[in-house]
Every structure is written in structure tokens, then in C-alpha cells.
């Protein structure tokens, strides 16, 4: 692992163009779905995964909605999403189409620690990707999900969208919280009594992010630092489509949709990439 980290770091310094992980379903979602399903059958699994974070009880992020994905090939994959209203959720476009694998339907999982059982579970195949989404660069990596109405509760609630002064903020230097249904390390298994995970991440400038990922970073990209002190932090495999939110005026406000990370893995200390929600507000509002 140390040798791999060294190679990845040298590649980033030499090329300033760290490759991002593409073709999500075959490289991440399908194996993650199989791993999570088996763990739920074998143990009292309660959770989700994120790098460098901590457990969060169900309801801590009531807008986090799990996605169990049925692919056109018949395979199963997993992602996350954010509840925007009783009938709409926002996710990453690559959860629906990753450039090689097309989803046929989503099952949205509300208010549950388990991905394959429990909670309120709503199937849908009504998904609209951004028309300028590019699966090769993951630019414009957003998609809107429409579903039958789900009532709010203490563990199911919509997230706020940016408004007012936040619409003009780049959030650089701000601390935000990510939550998701991914891994807690590159080699993680799933343990008993593992609850949903979350982590605080500091937003960095796009210029700083471009030092790692080069031209992949565009104005509608938002990035967070991959290190907090001496430990790596960030999103990981399976977190795709999930929320990055800041606290403002007593509310959680969605500022990012989990989009990409380094092809070298989650624990190399590289930034995590998100679709910048403020860049897509007209597109989002037109579909609510």
C-alpha cells in the first residue's frame, strides 16, 4: 500500500493530472452491492461508509437517501442521493449512466441503515440526467430523480438548497459534512453495529483541486481537502450521488453532489470532487 501511495503521489506531482475513477458501476457499484448484501445476510449490518469519519445514527442526515440500482444488464449497484422534496431527489448522473453501464431503475431507501431491507423503499425509473453530463470527465454530474410522494418524519426530511448570499459563495475554507453508503477504507469490510458514517471536510479552491486533477476541474466542480491533520478524509466507493452540506441559519444546505475521487483509492489523501450545487440551481429549480 505504501508503494502504491508513493506512485500515486509522484504521478500527481509529475503530471498534475491525477486520473479519476470512471465507469462507476463495474468498478465500484456492483462489487459494493454484492459485498453489502452478503454482509447484511451474515451480520447485523447497520451502515454506511466514508473515509476518516465517524458513525452517525439514522436520522442524523434525514435527507440522505440510499439507492439500490438495477442495471439493464440485470446486475445490482448502489449509490446515494439527497431528498429535495416529497417527490424529488438529487444524485450523480453517473449513478444512472456511467459511460458503459445503464441503470434500469432505482429503489430509493429512506430512513434506514440497511440498504437491502428496512425503511421506506420506493422504486422508480424516472431519472433525468443533465443534458451536458460527460461520463468521460464527470462534468455536469447531476441527475434528478422523481418518485411517488414520501411523507416526512423525524428520520426523513428534505435538505435545503442554497439561496441568498450562499448562491454567490465558492465556500472555499468552509467546513461541510458528507454522508454516504460507501466504504470506510480502500480495504474495508463491513462490521457489526456499523451505523451511517459522516465526516467533516474543508472546501478548497478549484485552483488547489486542479493541481491534482487538472482539466477535470471546471467552474461547476467543488472540491474538499483530502487530509485533516495526519489522516486522510473524504468520500469513497459507494458514496457517489450523496450529499455534501453546510450549516447555515440553523439549516443544512446542500452544496455538493458526490462525484469523483482518485483512481489510486480513497486513502491517498487526494481531494474529493463534487458537482457544485450553486452552478446547477436553475436546472434544479426547473425540475422540482
Cell triple for 269: 489523501
Catalytic residue set: 94, 141, 240
Q: What is the DSSP letter of 143?
A: E
Q: Which pLDDT does position 40 carry in this prediction?
A: 58
Label the pairing between strands 221-224 and 272-276.
Answer: antiparallel
Task: List, in order, residues 6 or more apart from 235 with CB less than 8 Å away.
Answer: 50, 51, 178, 180, 182, 242, 258, 261, 266, 272
Between the CA of residue 126 and those of 68, 108, 184, 217, 287, what are the distances in Å? 14, 12, 30, 29, 12
With a cut of 70, which residues of the chain have pLDDT below it? Answer: 1-16, 35-57, 181-198, 228-231, 236-238, 265-267
pLDDT value of position 66: 92
Predicted local confidence at residue 228, as pLDDT: 66
pLDDT of residue 9: 46
Quote the CA–CA distance of 4 and 117 in Å, as a whole number: 37
| Cβ-contact 222, 171 below 8 angstroms | yes
pTM of the model: 0.85
Task: Please report the pLDDT score of residue 188 as a whole number.
Answer: 47
The widest CA-to-CA distance across the chain, in whole angstroms, is 52
The pLDDT of residue 18: 75
Amino acid at each position: 500500500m505504501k508503494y502504491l501511495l508513493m506512485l500515486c503521489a509522484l504521478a500527481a506531482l509529475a503530471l498534475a493530472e491525477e486520473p479519476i475513477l470512471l465507469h462507476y458501476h463495474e468498478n465500484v457499484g456492483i462489487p459494493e452491492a454484492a459485498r453489502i448484501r452478503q454482509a447484511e445476510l451474515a451480520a447485523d449490518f447497520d451502515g454506511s461508509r466514508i473515509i476518516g469519519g465517524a458513525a452517525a445514527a439514522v436520522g442524523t442526515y434525514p435527507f440522505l437517501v440510499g439507492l439500490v440500482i438495477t442495471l439493464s444488464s440485470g446486475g445490482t449497484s448502489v449509490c446515494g442521493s439527497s431528498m429535495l422534496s416529497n417527490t424529488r431527489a438529487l444524485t450523480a448522473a453517473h449513478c444512472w449512466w456511467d459511460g458503459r453501464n445503464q441503470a434500469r431503475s432505482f429503489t430509493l431507501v429512506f430512513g434506514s441503515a440497511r440498504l437491502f431491507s428496512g425503511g421506506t423503499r420506493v422504486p422508480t425509473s424516472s431519472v433525468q440526467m443533465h443534458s451536458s453530463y460527460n461520463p468521460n470527465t464527470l462534468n455536469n454530474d447531476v441527475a434528478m430523480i422523481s418518485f411517488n410522494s414520501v411523507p416526512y418524519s423525524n428520520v426523513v426530511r428534505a435538505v435545503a438548497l442554497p439561496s441568498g448570499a450562499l448562491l454567490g459563495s465558492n465556500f472555499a475554507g468552509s467546513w461541510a459534512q458528507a454522508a454516504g453508503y460507501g466504504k470506510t477504507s480502500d480495504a474495508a469490510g463491513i462490521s457489526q453495529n456499523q451505523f451511517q458514517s459522516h465526516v467533516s471536510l474543508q472546501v478548497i479552491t478549484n485552483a488547489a483541486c486542479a493541481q491534482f486533477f487538472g482539466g477535470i476541474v471546471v467552474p461547476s466542480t467543488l472540491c474538499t481537502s483530502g487530509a485533516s491533520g495526519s489522516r486522510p478524509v473524504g468520500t469513497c466507493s459507494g458514496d457517489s450521488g450523496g450529499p455534501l452540506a453546510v450549516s447555515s441559519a440553523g439549516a443544512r444546505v446542500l452544496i455538493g453532489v458526490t462525484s469523483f475521487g482518485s483512481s489510486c483509492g480513497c486513502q491517498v489523501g487526494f481531494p474529493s470532487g463534487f458537482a457544485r450545487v450553486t452552478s446547477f440551481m436553475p436546472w434544479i429549480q426547473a425540475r422540482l
